[in-house]
């Protein structure tokens, strides 16, 4: 399985380019929410390239995830808050950004080994995203008059839900079950989510 490390890593990085390309292609018709998502996916692609470079040189790159986690959560939560129909729902999600940022700051201050991953904050983010995306998907389905598959929000939410629900246990028990098979499964979910995000940008370009 170790021989598949770089092929899996290359495949994951390559898949991260798809939503960026789709987002740039539809940038002229992009809304504020998808512009924020495009910025995030460009950042993710750059981090994936950096991680690939560090893996090639056999140096650690996990430190970057401690600082990336609050940025990712803030952008995704802000975007999802704009898709809520009620004001109090938006406020709850936005308040969670401040709380999660404080949690990440506490985690950064207490980090003893920068070669370790930010599995604690990642598992918390996944749990919050599972609840957030599930609720939003249900609400959009209730309000949606046309085909749900044509709604660009559906594809972004379903991609994030698949990623978060599938990786929640992976991050929560990361230190107990170190396995190349689990790591490969984690990356497979990344790839599937990236194709969902790509579909989201394509649908947004056709959104009336």
- pLDDT for 172 equals 77
- pLDDT for 132 equals 97
Q: How far apart are CA 154 and CA 163, in angstroms?
A: 14
Q: Could you list the residue range(s) of the whole structural domain that residue 57 is in? A: 2-205
- Alpha helices by DSSP H, listed for 83-151, are 87-109, 119-143
- pLDDT for 157 equals 97
170 alpha carbon, distance to own chain's centre: 15
- pLDDT for 145 equals 66
Q: How far apart are CA 24 and CA 36, in angstroms?
A: 12
As for how many domains the chain has, the answer is 1
User: Tens-digit pLDDT profile for the chain (208 aa)?
Assistant: 455 677 888 999 999 999 999 999 988 877 899 999 999 999 999 999 998 888 888 887 788 888 999 999 999 999 999 999 999 999 999 999 999 999 999 998 988 777 777 888 999 999 999 999 999 999 998 887 667 888 999 999 999 999 999 988 888 776 666 666 777 888 899 999 999 999 999 998 776 5
For residues 8 and 187, the answer to whether their CB atoms sit within 8 Å is yes
Q: How far apart are CA 74 and CA 189, in angstroms?
A: 21
- pLDDT for 177 equals 65
């Amino acid at each position: 399985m170790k021989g598949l490390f770089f092929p899996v890593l290359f495949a994951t990085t390559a898949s991260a380019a798809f939503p960026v390309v789709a987002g740039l292609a539809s940038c002229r018709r992009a809304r504020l929410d998808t512009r924020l998502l495009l910025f995030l996916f460009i950042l993710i692609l750059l981090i994936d390239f950096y991680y690939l470079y560090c893996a090639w040189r056999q140096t650690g790159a996990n430190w970057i995830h401690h600082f990336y986690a609050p940025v990712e959560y803030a952008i995704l939560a802000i975007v999802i808050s704009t898709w809520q129909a009620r004001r109090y729902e938006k406020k709850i999600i936005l308040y969670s950004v401040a709380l999660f940022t404080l949690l990440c700051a506490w985690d950064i201050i207490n980090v003893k080994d920068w070669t370790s991953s930010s599995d604690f904050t990642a598992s918390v983010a996944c749990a919050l995203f599972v609840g957030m995306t599930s609720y939003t998907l249900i609400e959009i389905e209730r309000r949606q008059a046309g085909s749900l598959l044509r709604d660009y929000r559906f594809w972004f939410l379903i991609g994030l839900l698949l990623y978060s629900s599938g990786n929640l246990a992976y991050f929560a028990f990361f230190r107990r079950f170190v396995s190349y098979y689990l790591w490969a499964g984690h990356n497979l979910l990344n790839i599937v989510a990236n194709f969902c995000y790509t579909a989201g940008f394509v649908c947004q370009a056709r959104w009336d």
